[in-house]
């Protein structure tokens, strides 16, 4: 195991099983429709890549990038768009795909931003949720796992840009982020 990791919270097999179930549910719910999956860069890319391959409905792909916490593990509450969608979502069935919902501020900002373009529908799929940290109410239509308030990395999730390539979702050792805060 990587020396900066305290323990594995969700192993790769458990993740794959859950992603498959999510994909099957989403495919059933959208049967007969076309979907536009919007991935939130960069944390959602690994999850989205796996989810896409389970979907059986026609699906288009777009990405949006928002400012993250930088090198800090706690949120400032300030959200900024770094890269907007290539095309408007007006009239589309949109599935917003997030890695993790923490305070909910990012998701609230993103759903408000997308609703302004009047999509035909907008649903949210998040791999992870930390409900104990919520500061604004948000709806997650498709959720992978609810997790305790611990800082996790791997399977796309980072700390200071690192650890995204770890195949499991892991709890980062406190010393790693406390040393930089």
Active site residues: 102
Transcribe 143-162 into DSSP letters. Answer: EEEE--S--EEBTTB-BTTB
CB-CB contact of 92 with 36 (8 Å): yes
Q: Phi and psi (nearest 5°) for 145?
A: -140, 140
What residues have CB less than 8 Å from 63, skipping those under 6 apart?
38, 39, 40, 41, 83, 85, 86
Among 5, 38, 96, 105, interactor with ligand IMP by CB under 6 A: 105
104 contacts ligand IMP (rule: CB under 6 A): yes
Number of residues that bind ligand IMP (CB under 6 A): 18
111 contacts ligand IMP (rule: CB under 6 A): no
Of residues 63 and 151, the one with the C-beta less far from ligand IMP? 151
CB-CB contact of 147 with 128 (8 Å): yes
Residues 122-181 within binding reach of ligand IMP (CB under 6 A): 151-153, 157
117 contacts ligand IMP (rule: CB under 6 A): no
Q: How far is the CB of 157 from ligand IMP (least distance, A)?
A: 4
Residues that bind ligand IMP (CB under 6 A): 43, 68-69, 75, 98-107, 151-153, 157
């Amino acid at each position: 195991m990587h020396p900066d990791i305290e323990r594995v919270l969700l192993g790769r097999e458990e993740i794959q099983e859950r992603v498959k179930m999510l994909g099957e549910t989403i495919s059933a719910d959208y049967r007969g429709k076309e979907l536009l999956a919007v991935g939130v860069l960069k944390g959602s890319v690994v999850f989205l890549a796996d989810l896409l391959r389970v979907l059986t409905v026609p699906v288009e792909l777009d990405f949006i990038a928002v400012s993250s916490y930088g090198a800090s593990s706690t949120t400032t509450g300030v959200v900024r768009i770094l890269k907007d969608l290539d095309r408007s979502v007006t009239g589309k069935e949109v599935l917003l795909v997030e890695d993790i919902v923490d305070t909910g501020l990012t998701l609230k900002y993103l759903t408000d931003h997308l609703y302004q373009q009047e999509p035909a529908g907008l649903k949210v799929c998040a791999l992870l949720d930390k409900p104990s940290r919520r500061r604004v109410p948000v709806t997650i239509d498709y959720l992978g796992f609810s997790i305790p308030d611990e800082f996790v990395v791997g399977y796309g999730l980072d700390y200071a840009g690192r650890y995204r390539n770890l195949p499991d979702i892991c709890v980062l050792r406190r010393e790693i982020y406390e040393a930089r805060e």
